[in-house]
């Protein structure tokens, strides 16, 4: 069966549009971190890059967890300053993520979790990073050194700007 050229073009356009809607907060953050990594990689240690994270809901607060390979425990999240009530809500939802082996980025907004391990392809995070924000938020990404890693030799410090 032959498909018309215009039908094929329409299908490609629809596929492209639907794929862009499938991106969630964690994937968008990972792509932002990838851009930061590509920019910072040839620069000297201490170089900075600001990404503008645009969450799915620009009116609602969000929490970003960027877990190191060491992972994280319930108590460590509280020790790092995360609100205990948020940790109680967040932790059961993270049961399908292996928190003890970490290296996952998680974005929690409106009671929903999105997560990805994509950022591990281009950056190692030395310790778990926690960022709380609301709306479009500038995040400062800074190279802080070189460390052994099985995926990358870049270590980025991620701070709220």
Domain spans in the chain, listed from the N-terminal domain onward: 24-160
* pLDDT tens profile 61-94: 999 988 877 777 888 889 988 889 888 887 777 6
What pLDDT sits at residue 105? 84
What torsion, rounded to 10 degrees, do the Cα atoms 124, 98, 53, 22 define? 120
Which is it for strands 61-66 and 105-109: parallel, antiparallel or unpaired? antiparallel
Residues 6+ apart with CB under 8 A from 70: 102, 127, 128
CB distance 40 to 154 below 8 Å: yes
pLDDT level of residue 14 (50, 70, 90 thresholds):
low
Token couple for 52: 């503008």
- Which residue bears the tokens 């970003």? 64
Cα(10)–Cα(64) distance, integer angstroms: 37
pLDDT in tens, 31-40: 998 888 888 8
Question: SS3 for 34?
Answer: helix
d(CA 101, CA 96): 12
Phi/psi of residue 156, each to 5°?
Answer: -115, 140
100 band by pLDDT with thresholds 50, 70 and 90: low
């Amino acid at each position: 069966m032959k498909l018309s050229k215009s039908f094929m073009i329409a299908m490609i356009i629809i596929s492209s549009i639907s794929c862009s809607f499938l991106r969630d907060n964690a994937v968008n953050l990972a792509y932002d971190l990838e851009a930061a990594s590509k920019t910072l990689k040839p620069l000297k240690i201490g170089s900075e890059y600001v990404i503008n994270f645009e969450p799915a809901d620009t009116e609602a607060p969000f929490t970003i967890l960027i877990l190191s390979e060491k992972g994280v425990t319930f108590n460590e999240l509280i020790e790092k300053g995360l609100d205990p009530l948020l940790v109680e809500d967040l932790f059961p939802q993270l049961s399908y993520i292996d928190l003890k082996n970490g290296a996952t980025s998680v974005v929690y907004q409106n009671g929903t979790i999105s997560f990805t391990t994509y950022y591990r392809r281009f950056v190692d995070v030395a310790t778990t990073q926690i960022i709380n924000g609301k709306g479009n938020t500038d995040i400062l990404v800074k190279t802080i050194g070189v460390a052994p890693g099985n995926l990358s030799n870049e270590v980025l410090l991620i701070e709220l700007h």
